[in-house]
Amino acid sequence: MAILMPPEWAPQEWLWIGFPHLAEEWPDCLEPAQEQIAAFASAVADSGQEVRLLVHDEVNALRARKLVSGKVKLQQQAYGDIWLRDTGPLIRGDGTALRPRFNGWGGKYLMQGDQEVCAELARDAGLPLMESDWALEGGAIDG
């Protein structure tokens, strides 16, 4: 069975972006990282692409709302790392969300929420979910 994985530049309905929230992951630069991600999310949204910015909690939602343009949609969601390309669902050409087993890059950086974010995002988006026991990250797939 062939599985079509659309390239990153293919038309999309929306883009998920993770807002940095863990100070220990961004030592001495959490606020600048948040500002950069907010600027990126705003630029993408202002170009016409729907952006769903994941915020970990209400405190981060308030911070993000001050930084992003009004076109960015905030979505409160538990997650660890902001690399949603690796931890989030892989959307096939038929709209099915693939959920591989994410292992924190070989156990090196496994954070609370990284195991669950894929299924939760797919559910929130109304996408059918296909579970896989393959251990990989989204960045490992190249069409």
Q: What confidence score (pLDDT) does residue 106 get? A: 80
Q: What is the pLDDT of residue 59?
A: 97
Q: What pTM does this model have?
A: 0.89
Q: What is the DSSP-derived secondary structure letter of residue 16? A: E
H-type helices in 88-135, by residue range? 104-107, 117-125
pLDDT at position 30 over 70: yes
